[in-house]
Amino acid sequence: MKFNDLIPELSVSSIVESKRFYIDVLGFKLEYERVEDKFAFLSLGKAQIMIEEINGYWNTGKLQYPFGRGVNFQIGIDDVAIIKSSLVKNNINLFRDIY
Domain boundaries, the chain: 7-55+74-99
Which element (helix H / strand E) includes 44? strand 39-44
**Per-residue b/e over 55-85, b at no fewer than 16 CB within 10 Å?**
eeeeeeeeeeeeeeeeeeeeeeeeeeeebee
Each residue's pLDDT expressed in tens, for the chain with a length of 99 residues: 899 999 999 999 999 999 999 999 999 999 999 999 999 999 999 999 999 999 877 777 777 777 777 777 888 888 889 999 999 999 998 888 887
CATH 3.40.50.720 fits 7-55+74-99, yes or no: no
- The whole-number pLDDT of residue 64 equals 79
